[in-house]
Structure 1
Amino acid sequence: MRPVPDPLGPGQESVWDYPRPPRVEQVDLRVTIELGGERVVDTRDVVRVLETSHPPVYYLPISAFADGTLSPAEGASFCEFKGAARYLDVHGGGRIAERAAWNYPDPSTGFEALRDRVAVYAGPMDACTIDGEQVTPQPGSFYGGWITSWVVGPFKGGPGSMGW
């Protein structure tokens, strides 16, 4: 059963207005990620994926990550819309966040904009920001959306949300 969307405030968007299948869009936002006290990425070349019930997932160019901060990790997954994903470890300041990032080396039709881009789980990082605002990780351990003050839910990923 679909939950009741949270009320919108000025300048906010509801994840319940996002489409399914998801939409990919280029956005003019600055994204930074820090791990182990080291900035591993700082870019304005940002694409986000919007999907019903999920906070946006931000994809950043592989080339924007500092040298040596990404390495292949075990495992893979498949998205019915985006295709086959591979996982990556994120390295920073002497720390390794295992399987904390993923990308689609050969994305499905309609998602070509994700090629050569990486999304990162916010939870294992020291800090992830969008235009200076610290993000909150999407609930649960599988989804990688980033919650900000301009996005309202409720969000998929928490207890009882698997049927949404």
Structure 2
Amino acid sequence: MPTDPDALSRARAAWRYRGQQRPDFALAPAAGQESVWDYPRPPAYVPDARRVEIKAGASRLAYSETSLRVLETGSPPSLYLPPEAVERSRLRPSARRSLCEWKGQAHYFHVESDKGLIADAVWSYPNPLAGAESLAGWFAFYPALLDCRLGGERVRAQAGGFYGGWITSEIVGPFKGDPGTAHW
């Protein structure tokens, strides 16, 4: 992953789609829906007041009516919750790191559950890049590994295993991470 400013600039410039115009292959949203192809790049960080509930196994890991939706071209939103909304006593630091050219270096956490340890199910940006400062210390969650609900609706996981987008009935794609989307 790029770490120097020139490499970050090249990574940012490599994106073909940036939300200014919906590509021909994108689904048209119906009333009350959003197309991920209308989201910008760099991403937008949008406050959301809907109830967010996250369970790891049978018990609650997080609950909040305050979240930040990260809206980025081609991906379902990722939701970030403030630290006080998370049962942090159940998080165990992971050695895993990843780098987003817009947000910076992500740190991952395993989650203790009644069914055992769930590896790398949560991430955070302790020191985000300029423009993403609102995410500092907030937590995001993989719906493929945890039971995530937004406004009472169970979230479907974004395909691909890397991205942590939350797919709900209000979101249309196709989505980055689906088979054949690596070139996006």
Is the pair's TM-score, using the shorter chain for normalization, greater than 0.5?
yes
Task: Compute the TM-score of the two structures, normalised by the length of structure 1.
Answer: 0.94
Contact 1:35 1:95 in 2 (8 A): no
Q: 1:161 maps to which residue?
A: 181
Task: Tell me: CA distance 1:93–1:113, structure 2 relative to 1, closer, same or farther (3 Å).
Answer: same
Question: What's the C-alpha RMSD, in Å, of the aligned pairs?
Answer: 1.3
Q: 1:74 aligns with which of 90, 95, 118?
A: 95
1:143 corresponds to which letter in structure 2?
Y
Mapped partners of 1:104, 1:135: distance in 2? 22
1:58 and 1:24 map into 2 onto residues whose CA distance is: 10
For residues 132-143 of structure 1, the aligned pairs below 5 Å read 132-143=152-163
Q: What is the deviation of 1:95?
A: 2.5
**For the pair shown, which has the larger CA radius of gyration, 1 or 2?**
2
Percent sequence identity is 44
SS in 2 for 1:5: coil
Is structure 2 residue 25 aligned with structure 1 residue 4?
A: yes
In the TM superposition, residue 35 of structure 1 has moved relative to its aligned partner by: 1.2
Matched residue SS, 1:142: coil
Give the direction of change, closer, same or farther, for the CA distance of 1:75–1:3 in structure 2 (3 Å limit): farther
Equivalent residue number for residue 44 of structure 1: 65
**Partners in 1 of 2:47 and 2:153 — Cα distance?**
19
How far does the alpha carbon of each residue in 1:23-75 deviate from its partner, in whole angstroms, 9 at most, with x for none? 11111111101112001111112001000000000001122112422120122
Higher strand share: 1
Judging by fraction of residues, say which structure has more helix. Answer: 2
CA change 1:93–1:111 in 2 (3 A) is same
Tell me how far apart the structure 1 counterparts of residues 73 and 67 of structure 2 sit (CA, whole Å): 20
Match for residue 147 of structure 1?
Answer: 167
RCO (CA 8 Å, sep 6+): is it higher in 1 or 2? 1
Unaligned runs of 5+ in 1: none
Q: Find the aligned partners of 1:138 and 1:67 in 2 and give their Cα distance.
A: 24
For these two proteins, the number of residue pairs brought into alignment is: 163
User: Is the contact between residue 83 and residue 108 of structure 1 (CA under 8 Å) also seen in structure 2?
Assistant: yes
1:91 paired residue number: 112
Runs of 5+ consecutive residues of structure 2 not aligned to the other structure? 1-15, 17-22
Q: Which amino acid aligns with 1:61?
A: P
TM-score of the aligned structures, taking structure 2 as reference length: 0.85
